[in-house]
Homo-oligomer: A and B are copies of this chain.
Amino acid sequence: MADRRPATVKDVAASAGVGIATVSRVFSGAGSVSAPTRERVLAAARALDYRPSALGRGLKLRRSGGIGLIVPDVTDPFCAELVAGVLACARTLGEHVIVDAAGGDPAREAEIVERLVEQRVDGIIALPAGDEADWRGAARVCSSVVFAGRTLPGMPDVPSVLADDAGGVRSLTEYLAGLGHRRIGFLGATPGGPSRVRERAFRGTLGRLGVPVEEDLVVAARPARDAAYAAAAGLLQRRADVTAVLAAGHILGEAAVLVARELDLRVPADVSIAMVDDVAWAELCDPPLTAVARPGHDVGYRACELLLREPARRGRGGPVLLPTELVVRGSCGPLRSQRR
């Protein structure tokens, strides 16, 4: 009774009294097999508990039937949504997904790409952390790469699916400006950061609205808890006349909320707060936080579709932009008077 090793086509063929080619045809669906033969083969397979080995098939077909997915951190809500989207799409296409987290480290990203290539994945979806230099090698080495959630400006040849961050920041900025705010702090310009899409959108929108941009109000911060907190505290203490804060990400938003609470600033009476990323706590916060929701799930889903389903259309017409949505809650109020 001890099925030492899993059954193979050969076992099934012998047991069903047919050739191995026939067994293969039954399971791969290709070629023609008569109904009675097919039944016999299926019965034998069931009896032997046979499951085709993806390894054997992959070797022959030269593809593993899986894709790779690289994100900075699976516990980040946006990344998690993105992962879920990729999984959902991959499931419908019958591919499995090898997920790994690079922790924002370009070297680890490169290492992961290397491993994925060894696995002969059919393609890679990445939310890249490094810059172009880090990914040129990877792109050359792998059949097909799609960027999701972030793109590398210098690599237009790699297709990408993005949330419309610029649009999101624009509506947030317009919303705050529409409430009368003029001295709006912006948290989150990554100084050496590659794209700075959000910062540019902020500056651009203010400019278009005729509101002067004070350099002092645009503060850089890596999206790490301590750095974010330091940046928020610095801004709010340095400039007591700031009436609104726009945080370019949920970590920054969290910092802004915490710092405001620490400084005994009432939200939104003393200072309005809004942020990019409509994470779970935005609604639970008191007051609930106005935020821009980025369609993480859809970004992942579309990226996977692009990778597997439309290799032809890939990379044409620049990045696919998915709309964000402004979710207005209670954390932003009309400009009343100066703080302090």
Residues of chain A whose beta carbon lies under 8 Å from any beta carbon of chain B:
5, 49, 51-56, 58-59, 62, 64, 66, 73-75, 77, 80-81, 83-84, 87, 91, 96-101, 114-120, 141, 254, 257-258, 261, 279-281, 284-286
Contacts of A96 in B (CB 8 A): 98, 100, 115-116, 119
Copy number in the complex reads 2
Chain B residue, CB-CB nearest to A289: B284
Chain B residue, CB-CB nearest to A117: B51
Ordered by A's residue number, 6 sampled pairs between the chains whose C-beta atoms are within 8 Å are A55-B59, A58-B58, A75-B83, A99-B99, A281-B284, A285-B286
A75-B77, A254-B280 are contacts. A51–B91 as well, Cβ < 8 Å?
no
Chain B residue, CB-CB nearest to A56: B59
Q: Complex: how many Å from CA A24 to CA B167?
A: 53
Most chain-B Cβ atoms within 10 A of its Cβ — which of A64, A74, A80, A116?
Answer: A74
Known: A52-B118, A75-B84, A83-B99. 6 other contacts (CB 8 A): A54-B119, A55-B64, A59-B59, A96-B116, A97-B99, A281-B281
Q: Complex: how many Å from CA A210 to CA B272?
A: 49
The smallest beta-carbon distance between A48 and chain B, in angstroms, is: 13
**CB–CB B74/A83 < 8 A:** yes
The smallest beta-carbon distance between A282 and chain B, in angstroms, is: 8
A81-B75, A97-B99 are contacts. A49–B118 as well, Cβ < 8 Å?
no
Contact of A55 among B55, B100, B280, B281 (CB under 8 A): B55
**CB–CB A87/B101 < 8 A:** yes
Contacts of A53 in B (CB 8 A): 59, 118, 120
Chain B residue, CB-CB nearest to A64: B55
Contacts of A114 in B (CB 8 A): 51
Q: Complex: how many Å from CA A99 to CA B58?
A: 19
**CB–CB B73/A84 < 8 A:** yes
Q: Complex: how many Å from CA A328 to CA B98?
A: 38
Contacts of A58 in B (CB 8 A): 55, 58
